[in-house]
Amino acid sequence: MDTITMENINSLWASLIVEELVRNGIRYFCISPGSRSAPLTVAAARHPKVKTSIIYDERGAAFHALGYARAAGTSAAVIATSGTAVANYLPAVVEASMDNIPLLILSADRPPELQQTGANQTILQPGIFGQFVRWHFEFPAPDEKIPPAVALSTVDQAVYRALRKPSGPVHLNFMFREPLAPERQPLPSNYLSGIADWQTRETPFTSYEQMCRSPQKDQLKKLAALLNQTKRGLVTVGRLDSPEQERAVKKLAHELNWPLFPDVLSGLRLGNSLFSRIPYYDQMLASEAFQAHLAVETLLHFGGQLTSKRFLQFTEKYPPENMIVVKEHPFRHDPACRVSWRIEAPIAALARDLIPMIHSGAEPKWVQTLVRQSGQVVQVVDDFFKKQINISEPGIARIISQKIREHDGLFLAGSMPVRDMDSFGLPDAKKPAVAANRGTSGIDGTISTAIGFAAGLRKPATLLTGDLAFLHDLNALSTLRFISQPVLIVLINNQGGGIFSFLPIAEFKDVFEEYFAAPHPFTFEKVSEMFGIDYYSPKNPEAFSQIYDKARGSQKHALIEIRTAREANVQRHQDLQKLIVRKLETLL
pLDDT digits (tens, 9 = 90+) for 420-474: 999 999 998 889 999 999 999 999 999 999 999 999 999 999 999 999 999 999 9
Comparing 114 with 86, which gets the higher pLDDT? 86
Please determine, for residue 210, whether its predicted confidence score (pLDDT) is greater than 90: no
Please provide the CATH number assigned to the domain covering 388-587.
Answer: 3.40.50.970
Average pLDDT of span 91-112: 97
Torsion-angle region of 445 (φ positive above 0: left; ψ -120 to 50: alpha; else: beta): left
Is a pLDDT exceeding 90 seen at residue 105? yes
Residue 276 pLDDT > 70, yes or no? yes
Q: Indicate if the pLDDT at residue 588 is higher than 90.
A: no
Q: What is the pLDDT of residues 81-95, one digit of tens each?
A: 999 999 999 999 999
pLDDT in tens, 511-542: 988 999 889 999 999 999 999 999 999 999 99
- Residue 1 predicted with pLDDT over 70: no
The pLDDT of residue 211 is 73
Q: What is the mean pLDDT of the chain?
A: 95
Residue range 191-196: mean pLDDT, rounded:
94
Q: CA-CA distance, 59 to 32, in Å (whole number)?
A: 10
| CB 126, CB 138: distance < 8 Å | yes
Residue 108, phi then psi, degrees to nearest 5: -85, 155
Cis, bond preceding 394 (omega within 30 deg of 0): no
The secondary structure of 496-540 as a DSSP string is S-GGGGGSGGGG-HHHHIIIII-------HHHHHHHT-EEE---S
pLDDT, one tens digit per residue, over 539-571 is 999 999 999 999 999 999 999 999 999 898 999
Mean pLDDT throughout 397-417? Answer: 96
Instruction: Please report, for the chain, the start and end positions of each structural domain, with discontinuous segments joined by +.
Output: 9-176, 217-374, 388-587
Give me the pLDDT at residue 3, please.
Answer: 85
CA 312 centroid distance within chain: 21
Same CATH fold, 388-587 and 9-176?
A: yes
Q: What pairs with residue 172 in β-bridges?
A: 106, 137
pLDDT tens per residue, range 305-343: 999 999 999 999 999 999 999 999 999 988 889 999 999
Q: Using one digit for the tens of pLDDT, what is the confidence trace for 227-242? A: 999 999 999 999 999 9
Q: Which pLDDT tens digit goes with each residue over 363-402?
A: 999 999 999 999 999 999 999 999 988 999 999 999 999 9
Distances (CA, A) of 378 to 135, 213, 250, 469: 47, 40, 20, 30
Question: What is the CATH T-level fold of the domain 217-374, as seen in this structure?
Answer: Rossmann fold (3.40.50)
Strand pairing of 298-302 and 260-262?
Answer: unpaired
User: Given this model, what pLDDT does residue 242 score?
Assistant: 94
**What DSSP element (H or E) covers 351?**
helix 347-354
pLDDT of residue 501: 84
- Going by the DSSP 8-state scheme, the letter that residue 219 receives in this structure is H
> What b/e readout covers 209-219, taking b as 16+ CB neighbours within 10 angstroms?
eeeeeebeeee
Residue 128 has pLDDT above 80, yes or no: yes
The pTM of the full predicted model, rounded to 2 decimals, is: 0.95
Fold of domain 9-176:
Rossmann fold (3.40.50)
> What pLDDT shows up at residue 84?
96
C-alpha atoms less than 13 angstroms from C-alpha of 37 in its C-beta half-sphere:
25
Give 143: exposed, middle or buried? Use CB within 10 Å, 0-12, 13-18, 19+. Answer: exposed
Please tell me the distance from the alpha carbon of residue 307 to that of residue 419, in angstroms, as a whole number.
7
Q: What Å distances lie between residue 372 and 276, 361, 366, 455, 543, CA to CA? A: 10, 20, 10, 41, 34
